[in-house]
Amino acid sequence: MWQNHDLKKNYDVVIIGGGAHGLATAYYLSKLGINNVAVLEQKFIGYGGSGRNTALLRSNYRTEEGIKFYDQSIKLYEDLSGELDFNLMFSNWP
């Protein structure tokens, strides 16, 4: 998985940036059956903010609509370690 690949001539979706948003977009597209996807990263995976943040996940930002959005995102995290068979060290405080 973590290796250089030759690029194909065509993709259904091209995502610029291998941070949390780009990778999550690719992952959830694949769950919808959209697999012909390229994530193009200029440096290395996690080079940007995603590889250097304080790792707090919270749903208390700014607007009512935003809170619902973040709530749903945190719910996705609850099952993600199991889905990926990789320990993301996610913990949810009461």
Ligand X SMILES: Cc1cc2nc3c(=O)[nH]c(=O)nc-3n(C[C@H](O)[C@H](O)[C@H](O)COP(=O)(O)OP(=O)(O)OC[C@H]3O[C@@H](n4cnc5c(N)ncnc54)[C@H](O)[C@@H]3O)c2cc1C
Q: Which chain residues interact with ligand X by CB under 6 A?
A: 16-22, 40-43, 47-50, 52-57
**What is the nearest approach in angstroms of ligand X to the Cβ of residue 59?**
10
Our CB check for ligand X shows the closer of 5 and 52 to be 52
Exposed e or buried b per residue across 57-70, where buried means at least 16 C-beta atoms within 10 angstroms of its C-beta:
eeeeeeeeeeeeeb
Our CB check for ligand X shows the closer of 31 and 52 to be 52
**What is the nearest approach in angstroms of ligand X to the Cβ of residue 23?**
7
In 3D space, the residue among 5, 7, 47, 56 whose CA is nearest the CA of residue 23 turns out to be 47
Question: Residues 12, 32: contact at Cβ < 8 Å?
Answer: no
**What is the nearest approach in angstroms of ligand X to the Cβ of residue 40?**
5
* DSSP at 93: -
Our CB check for ligand X shows the closer of 13 and 40 to be 40
